[in-house]
Structure 1
């Protein structure tokens, strides 16, 4: 790219976010698959986040739960699996092979080696024994279709074997073979999490065999995944890309070169967009409001967040591990937080009132009504609780 890099300011970045993340009213999606594809991935560590993230972006929010259930458990057009940073996400099914090759293979090798090493230190059976148990468990899962770890242990009792790990350390404990093995099989792309035991807010899942997918070249898969993410979230810095993917910086740079990414100038330094995406977005975006859930992929999308989240707002909105709680948005930036109380009421508070005004407060109140309407009797408590969320529910 010859000449000076084009400057992309905060206002333009917020406009891109509104349009590409389906947050502005006119661009909300028609189906969960459309929303997941636009965002590349939905955070799945907290099951409720998947539904709340879809509901915030779905044109017909009343259809959030049945449509997301359909996509996850009937059509299997969305799949919950381990992905970037060894985190559970929900991906469009066609993307699972790309995620597996680009990020899963390296993590899986480390996780299996660690499991075998931990078992050896505890005097547990060896890798050959573990492989035999694995094959038996996968065969049982194929027969059952979906099953909990306890149900699989009825067919393969060796899954109940227990072994100690980290003996003598502050975090020592005892694991069952099933807990560790199913986690490894998930990272390896052999099993995925299936339908929950309870409602859509439940954290207890059945397991299912992963959908078949082709084995891809890791470097090519990294280029495709990074290109998809930049198209949804660009511009982004190299540090943002390294953080989101969990890759080495050499992998990020190789993928940037492979897709012909174009540099632009940001307040944080040099950022990148996909080829052909350096021009300004078309026209202004009307102000919009949103209530996004804890761990929402927009709020957690970048490592450098000052352009949409003021640093002074972070202490009440994040937990000690860096997980964001429920956030209130107005016109492209985080302005507060929200929570659902035990009686179902949605409580919210502005932490930054600058520029919100009556229009913003009215729009936020409308989003509160919209969320309350489709949640109905459901009660949602984030898995990772933050200071403001706790305060609002007290």
Structure 2
């Protein structure tokens, strides 16, 4: 599918910058390049050119690279203009290119969408490309790179090929049962493979939580009574004064959140209102938010002031670390006793125990994320379609009384669900949603 309209956009980052990359794709690309940069622009070679408007006005001097289709990112003729990254320069070059007949400004994700529609990548690889652009941590980058290379797609397409083959064998047995070339026991082998595939898909689905942690982060919530040192620990972990710290109880009334990178994993850290009985109306709202946030956490840090301990009713459904704070206020014997009763004893004043606690949070986040090299479902969309495919396979496997024709139909329906993941089957209703997540110029 080669579009009749060309699109142009700034494809590099925020301006001003040292260099800005302006990309154009579509059938007018070669004409635009030869008009602005002059004739004889080589293919896949960066060439220094004076860039001029059609009336001869000098726009800038920069590099031009031309990629003829179909061997390009979008499958169409594509060119890049590497110009100086001033706002006025970029604005003028964009206006000039968009002023050509048949050229318009690109919409978010439109370059990638054209690449998908022209068969340069499938839908899973497209989503992985969006993850790569948005990656903020090393784990996110590695996860996105693996999927962009096609390992996730190959897994789903491999399952789909096995289903298509199995269905063909069953239908051959039905239609040509009297032929010598079609053994009567072929369906037994198919159903053994289907049973194995159900187990493979279910194990794959179970990895979605690890993928969520890689993409969205490991949730850590700090809980404790007022003045237990929650905000002080929060500031120490974030290495800035993100939360107000005072001796007055109930200073923190709302949730405060920051993002860290520990062991290459994104960690979302939340400071909360102090938990206590008889709070004021506003403080009570903060406490309710704290408890709700704690219920959804991956890890709780349960703080207790060692110099003034207060008992605290805590959730027992979420993994937790018991942390004694202000150990610098204790004598040596009391500190040793506290260390035996808590997972960690710390002081943000002296730094005691702080690095050990930080390392443990990072270790737990990494364990929860699992092996970043594993092939995992990276979207809830994938999980829903995989679950539906698994349901069809279970119906096919258990439908002994339904007849081979109906069981083969269940295999077809399962294969279609897998095809929808990679975009091989009827995904028009998904495209606007998926490509709207991209930035303009990508």
Category of TM-score, reference length = shorter chain: under 0.3
Length-normalised TM-score, structure 2: 0.21
Length-normalised TM-score, structure 1: 0.22
Larger radius of gyration between Structure 1 and Structure 2: 2
